[in-house]
């Protein structure tokens, strides 16, 4: 007589279910390992800080084996660089989000500055990682391209100056440095909590972003 017991690995015709042992033995496959690892790394970064972000911790967070990410990233520096590349792409989008077409240069700079600082406020861990060059590998194509594109948004406030490596006049370099120093310095003071005493003395209903708007509008002129 033919046995009615379900063969291992085949569905039980009475229940439609496969035996648990066969399911457990199936090899793990992740269709988007890079994206899963980058998302896991970002969660760790915002939750535990840069000190808690290791390749092993990110693999555990993503639910993959510890060895799997090495083919994509090599080491933790590679993972951090890919996460920073994602950050710079978002950063670029944040800076241009409120720029109006054909806006005058001063209004354009103010909108970009607001986007710059707001990104830092909403993504403090990622923002700090993006500007920590010692932890990143800018030879990686994704990071280099994303960083240059984001820098190009700020440089574009000076008018058309060509591709990233186009030579600048001293005047252009000085103006770009002044604009960058203003918004980046403001963002760092905000993240470090150094602006809190000033904000506490400001009128009710105002905050760091209100202060930034005043700075970008030229409120310090003539002081």
Other beta carbons within 10 angstroms of residue 193's beta carbon come to: 8
Q: How far apart are CA 182 and CA 53, in angstroms?
A: 30
Same-domain check for residues 141 and 63: no
Q: Is residue 147 part of a domain?
A: yes
On whether residue 204 sits in a domain, the answer given is: yes
Give which of 147, 149, 143 is closest to 78, Cα–Cα.
143
Averaged pLDDT for residues 193-199: 97
Report the 3 state secondary structure along the chain: CCCCCCCCCCCCCCCCCCCHHHHHHCCCCCCCHHHHHHHHHHHHHHHHCHHHCCHHHHHHHHCCCCCCCHHHHCCHHHHHHHHHHHHHHHHHHHHHCCCCCCCCHHHHHHHHHHHHHHHHHHCHHHHHHHCCHHHCCCCCHHHHHHHHHHHHHHHHHHCCCCCCCCCCCHHHHHHHHHHHHHHHHHHHHHHCCCCHHHHHCCCCCCCHHHHHHHHHCCCCCCC
Per-residue confidence band for 21, with pLDDT thresholds at 50, 70 and 90: very low
d(CA 7, CA 55): 41
Calculate what percentage of the chain has a pLDDT beyond 70.
82
Distance in angstroms (rounded) separating the CA atoms of residues 26 and 119: 42
61 shares its domain with 92: no
Whether 45 is in a domain gets the answer yes
Residue range 18-30: average pLDDT?
Answer: 40
Tokens matching residue 24: 């457990």
Question: Any idea what the CATH number is for the domain that residue 61 is in?
Answer: 1.10.10
Asked if residue 86 and residue 69 are part of one domain, the reply reads: no
Verify that 44 and 96 share a domain, yes or no: no
What rounded mean pLDDT belongs to the chain? 84
Same domain, 55 and 83: no
102 and 147 share one domain: yes
Whether 98 and 203 map to the same domain: the answer is yes
> Which of these three, 39, 54, 74, is where a domain ends?
74
The domain boundary residue, chosen from 41, 74, 107: 74
What does the alpha-carbon distance between residue 120 and residue 189 come to, in Å, rounded to a whole number? Answer: 11
The 10 Å Cβ neighbour count of residue 75 is 13
Asked whether residue 205 is domain-assigned, the answer is yes
Residues 50 and 119 in one domain: no
**Is residue 1 in some structural domain?**
no
User: Domain total for the chain?
Assistant: 2
Higher pLDDT among residues 14 and 63, named by residue: 63
Residues 85 and 184 in one domain: yes
| Residue 9 pLDDT | 45
The boundaries of the domain holding residue 58 are 31-74
Residue 177: pLDDT above 60?
A: yes
Is the model's pTM score more than 0.85? no
Q: What is the pLDDT of residues 68-127, one digit of tens each?
A: 888 889 999 999 999 999 999 999 999 999 999 888 888 888 999 999 999 999 999 999
Q: Is the pLDDT of residue 220 over 50?
A: no
Question: In this structure, are 58 and 121 located in the same domain?
Answer: no
Could you tell me if 104 and 52 lie in one domain?
A: no
Domain end: 19, 40, 74, which one?
A: 74
Does residue 17 lie within any of the structural domains? no
Using alpha carbons, list the distances in angstroms from residue 79 to 6, 65, 91, 122, 167: 45, 15, 18, 21, 32
| Residue 26 is assigned to a structural domain of this protein | no
Nearest to 76 by CA among 109, 113, 50: 50
Asked if residue 8 belongs to a domain, the reply is: no
Tell whether 90 and 164 lie within a shared domain: yes
pLDDT higher than threshold 70 for residue 162: no
pLDDT cut 90: percent of the chain above it: 62
| CATH code: domain of residue 165 | 1.10.357.10
Residue 31 — very low, low, confident or very high, per pLDDT cuts 50/70/90?
low
């Amino acid at each position: 007589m033919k046995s009615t017991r379900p063969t291992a690995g085949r569905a039980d015709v009475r229940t439609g279910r496969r035996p648990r042992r066969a399911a457990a033995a199936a090899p793990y496959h992740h269709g988007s390992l890079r994206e899963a690892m980058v998302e896991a790394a970002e969660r760790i970064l915002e939750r535990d800080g840069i000190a808690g972000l290791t390749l092993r911790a990110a693999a555990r967070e993503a639910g993959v084996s510890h060895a799997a990410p090495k083919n994509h990233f090599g080491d933790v520096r590679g993972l951090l660089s890919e996460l920073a590349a994602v950050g710079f792409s978002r950063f670029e989008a944040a800076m241009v989000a409120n720029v109006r077409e054909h806006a005058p240069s001063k209004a354009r700079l103010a909108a970009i500055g607001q986007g710059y600082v707001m990104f830092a406020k909403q993504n403090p861990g990622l923002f700090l990682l993006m500007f920590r060059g010692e932890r990143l590998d800018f030879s990686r194509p994704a990071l280099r391209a994303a960083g240059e594109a984001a820098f190009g948004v700020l440089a574009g406030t000076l008018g058309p100056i060509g591709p990233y490596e186009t030579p600048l006049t001293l005047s252009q370099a000085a103006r770009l440095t002044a604009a960058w120093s203003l918004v980046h310095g403001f963002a760092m003071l905000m993240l470090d909590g150094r602006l809190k005493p000033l904000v506490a003395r400001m009128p009710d209903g105002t905050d760091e972003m209100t202060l930034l708007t005043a700075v970008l509008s030229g409120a310090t002129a003539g002081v």
